[in-house]
Amino acid sequence: MHNTFRIDCFPESALRCKDGFAVVAIDVIRATTTAVTASALGLRCYPAGSMEDALRVAARLDHPLLAGEINGVKPAQFDMNNSPAALLGVSHKGRPLVLLSSSGTRLMLNAAGCDAAYLACFRNSSATADRLISENYSRIALLGAGTRGEFREEDQIGCAWIGADLVRAGYRPENEATAQVLQRWASAKATDCLMSASVNYLQRSNQEDDLRFILERIDDLDDAFMLRNGQVAMVAAAVLEPEPVGTPSTIPA
């Protein structure tokens, strides 16, 4: 019996993976990039599913930073946008971060009810794949957050990169839709997402610092990140043995 994986999209997709799945939430522009970056910087990061949820979580924390957006707009009472680049310029001094986004943080919280919930972006794609393979999960779901009813290109690329590593480790796609995403995007470059409506939004709203941040940091983190007890947690990625010469690594046609 082969281990398998599927690629799907939107926060609700995690609800179909409650039993028997390790789930990877992917929202490259920008929620999982922000969450992973915050955790890598040493901040305690708490994803929130709504404005009310964000304020409730913040109320029980000591001097938290509120970061996020609703439909792309930073709420007036928040300290900063859902911005990985802005984290580098914030004097956080160990303050916890509460993160809200239109779809990415909802996906994270929905995934928290599955057997295991990971967060991935371009920064830790390979590290996440290595961790999944080392844990030998029998079923994995790679889930894009989706925006305005679209499975955005950057999230398809993030899913396909991890999926390609899974295939090389012997995993098989569960369905034709997964194989199609894999076939189209497994060999993509990060810049192939420049056609995305998410990229267009960042450009129109003068938030290109985030776009540069995302495109300039590819696999620069060596750790995987999980959601545990409502908080993003760094977990060391396993060091895998190199593939023997001649091991098949063909992406399904």
Q: According to the model, what pLDDT value does residue 251 have? A: 53
Residue 240 falls inside a structural domain:
no
pLDDT in tens, 172-228: 999 999 999 999 999 999 999 999 999 999 999 999 999 999 999 999 999 999 999
Tally the domains of the chain: 1
DSSP E strands: which ranges in 11-145? 22-26, 45-48, 65-68, 97-100, 116-120, 139-144
Q: Does a structural domain hold residue 71?
A: yes
pLDDT score at 248? 41
Kindly state whether residue 158 falls inside one of the protein's structural domains.
yes
Report the CATH number at residue 55. Answer: 3.90.1560.10
- Residue 239 resides in a domain: no
Output the six-digit token pair for 52.
Answer: 């009310």
251 falls within a domain: no
In a domain, 145, yes or no: yes
Residues whose CB falls within 8 Å of the CB of residue 93, separated by 6 or more in sequence, listed in order = none
Banded pLDDT at 87 (limits 50, 70, 90): very high
Residue whose pair of structure tokens reads 């190199």 in the numeric block: 242
Instruction: State how far the Cα of 13 lies from the Cα of 111, in Å rounded to an integer.
Output: 9
What pLDDT digit, counting tens, does each position of 141-185 carry? Answer: 999 999 999 999 999 999 999 999 999 999 999 999 999 999 999
Q: What's the domain range around 166?
A: 4-227
Q: Is residue 150 part of a domain?
A: yes
In a domain, 234, yes or no: no
Kindly report the pTM of this predicted structure: 0.92
DSSP string, 119-162: EE-GGGHHHHHHHHHHHT-SEEEEEE--BTTB--HHHHHHHHHH
- Band (pLDDT 50/70/90 cuts) for residue 238 is low
- 48 vs 66: CA distance, rounded Å: 10
